[in-house]
Each structure stands twice: as C-alpha cells, then as structure tokens.
Amino acid sequence: MEITNVNEYEAIAKEKLPKMVYDYYASGAEDQWTLQENRNAFSRILFRPRILIDVSKIDMTTNVLGFKISMPIMTLSSWATSSVEEVASTGPGIRFFQLYVYKDRNVVAQLVRRAERAGFKAIALTVDTPRLGRRESDIKNRFTLPPYLTLKNFEGLDLGKMDMANDSGLASYVAGQIDRTLSWKDVQWLQTITKLPILVKGVLTAEDARMAVQAGAAGIIVSNHGARQLDYVPATIIALEEVVKAAQGKIPVFLDGGVRRGTDVFKALALGASGIFIGRPVVFSLAAEGEAGVRKVLQMMREEFELTMALSGCTSLKEITRNHITTDWDAPQARLVPKL
C-alpha cells in the first residue's frame, strides 16, 4: 500500500514496535491534553492564499545560523543509542547536538568537546527537563532500555545504562543524573567552554525569550518537549508568535511539536519561525521502513510544503508573511473583509 502522508507511519510503527517502545515514543504527559493540542492547534489556522502569481520556480532554501540548507525542516536527537561520532560518520550535513546538563559538569564539557570534534554546528540546550514529566504509559510499562542498547554517548562514563525501576527507568535515570539547579548562569557558562552557537530549546513565553536573548543564546526553539513534560501548556504553534515578538528579530526562533504536514511548516513560518524540527515522524518512519522511511518523510514534507507555497502565491521563504494566514486568536476586525 502506497504511503501518502506522514501520519500513516505511526500505525505501521505501532504494529512493528514492542508495546513499551511504541508507547514511549507516542505518549505525552499525564492527561495528554497538550499532546492532542500540539496537532489540533494547527487546524485552527487557515490560509489566505494569493492568486495569479508566477509560481513556476519555488525556492525553499534557507540559512540557519549561517549554514545554507535545502528546506526549513530539520530533525534533532538527544539520548541516542548511536554516539556523536557514529552519527557524524554517516556523511555530510548540518548537525546540531541536543544537550542535557548532567550534575557532573565534566561530563557536559566532554560531550560538548566531542560534538565539536565530530563537526556538529550548534548545541541545542534542553531547558525544560529539570525533572522528567509524568508519562503514565512508561510507568505502567516500567520503561527501560533493552539490554543490547545503551545511551552511546555516555558509555565510557558509566552513565550509559538505564536500570530497571519500579516505575519508569528513564524517570529514575533523569532523577539521578540530570541537574535540577540548571539556570541562566549555565547558558553563559556553556559559552565559556564552546564557540558553538547555543540554541535554547524549551521556551514557551515572551519573558523567557527576552532572557534567552540577554543570556547570549544564538537562537530559540519553541518546544514543549513533544508534550511529554508539563501537560496543559499551550501548543507550540500557539506559543510561537509571543516568543517571536519578544525576540524582536535579534535571534532566530524555531519550532517543534505537532508538525506532520507541509501546511504546518508554512503556518509556522507565517507566524515568524525560521524553521521547524520534527521528532516522532522520523522515529515512526524509521521503525516502519528504516532509512528509506525517513527519506520518504522528509521528501513528502518537502513536496507538501512546496505545493502549499505555490498555492499560497509564495516563491521564496521571505515571501511567506503573517497576511497569508488567519488564526482564531486574530482580532475580529482583522478577519472582516474590507469594503470595496
């Protein structure tokens, strides 16, 4: 059966993966309200397409932190079961390293140095996980890594193994290893140990966007951790505009969470994002069809995004504006048709 959209990979992954593994990837925190909302919020943003524009040539290229990429769609991994060196060896590409700050700062410094040596181009500092969110399926399943897998980046540091626990092995691991004292001072400390640009991942408010700019961050990722941390935070697409306005164009703002279609990418860019990250679609397509599945996901999203641009009358990313969409939080007068 021909797969025609990204969402279809989830059902295939569910069949192929062990229940504990599928549940780990698919679920969100507590009531999973934000998990649903991350998707649903996109459907409350509608297009205002412009017509009779020459769209025979469409340019989706963009610059991210000074690097030219073919489209504003990216992916990011964290506690991978492949090391930074293994990931880097797969070929050329712009790679960001997602960093959690461990209690032992020597571990952090070592990881950052390894990412630098392996040619990674930025650090995405995860700031929304001083403790792990309450993911009830992981508690029910007593989620832990199978014995043949380890968190590869930490193997030599005796931090690669995740033990069995009475609830979630991952929650116990985080409680034991991740630093709850993490603060803005540490964003500045990171800049003293690396020249790599630092993206702050997990910003949802204007206040924290302004703090990120002041702390010298090179960019912001608007993220609610795939709705896996604090339930009842807004969908990232809803929080995006507030963060973009607060950043005032000083640093780029990216988004992750709930992006499944090229239309979603367009909506995020119309609200001021410089690009988007996808997570679950990559994991589910990898489980379903391996590397070919991931290629297909990126290709489908690329083609859908290009089509959305064409049908909206945009030939380059800079032509995508706030006027190309209308949202249910726009002022009523903004939605009234002007009298001719």
Q: How far apart are CA 12 and CA 68, in angstroms?
A: 34
**Mean pLDDT in consecutive groups of 10 residues from the start of the chain, 340 residues:** 92 92 91 97 97 98 94 79 80 85 89 91 93 85 74 60 56 73 94 96 98 97 96 98 98 97 98 96 93 94 98 98 94 61
Domain that holds residue 241: 6-327
Q: Is 228 annotated as a binding residue?
A: yes
Location of structure tokens 């990979």: 9
**Orientation of helix 19-26 relative to helix 280-312, angle to 10°:** 40
Residue 260 is assigned to a ligand binding site: yes
The radius of gyration computed from the CA coordinates of the chain, to the nearest angstrom, equals 20
Task: Phi first, then psi: give them for residue 19, nearest 5 degrees.
Answer: -55, -45
Residue 340 within a domain: no
Helix (H, G, I), strand (E, B) or coil at 1: coil
Q: Please give the tally of structural domains in the chain.
A: 1
For 82-127, give the DSSP string.
S-HHHHHTT-S---EEEE--BSSHHHHHHHHHHHHHTT--EEEEE-
Is 240 a member of any domain?
yes
297: CB partners within 8 A, 6+ apart: 6, 9, 278, 281, 282, 285
Within 8 A by CB and 6+ apart from 106, the residues are none
| Per-residue model confidence as pLDDT tens digits over 131-153 | 888 888 888 888 877 766 666 66
Question: According to the model, what pLDDT value does residue 90 have?
Answer: 79
Task: Answer yes or no: is 122 within a domain.
Answer: yes
Please tell me the predicted confidence (pLDDT) of residue 30. 93
Residue 181 is predicted with a pLDDT of: 93
Reply yes or no on whether 324 is catalytic: no
Candidates 60, 83, 143, 225; catalytic one:
225
Interatomic CA distance for residues 340 and 324, integer angstroms: 20
Please report the pLDDT score of residue 144 as a whole number: 79
Residue 9 is assigned to a ligand binding site? no
258 is in an annotated binding site: yes
Q: Is 257 annotated as a binding residue?
A: yes
pLDDT for 339 equals 62
pTM for this prediction: 0.91
- Within a domain: residue 338? no
The answer to whether residue 333 sits within a structural domain is no
204: domain CATH number?
A: 3.20.20.70
Distance CA 238, CA 246 (A): 14
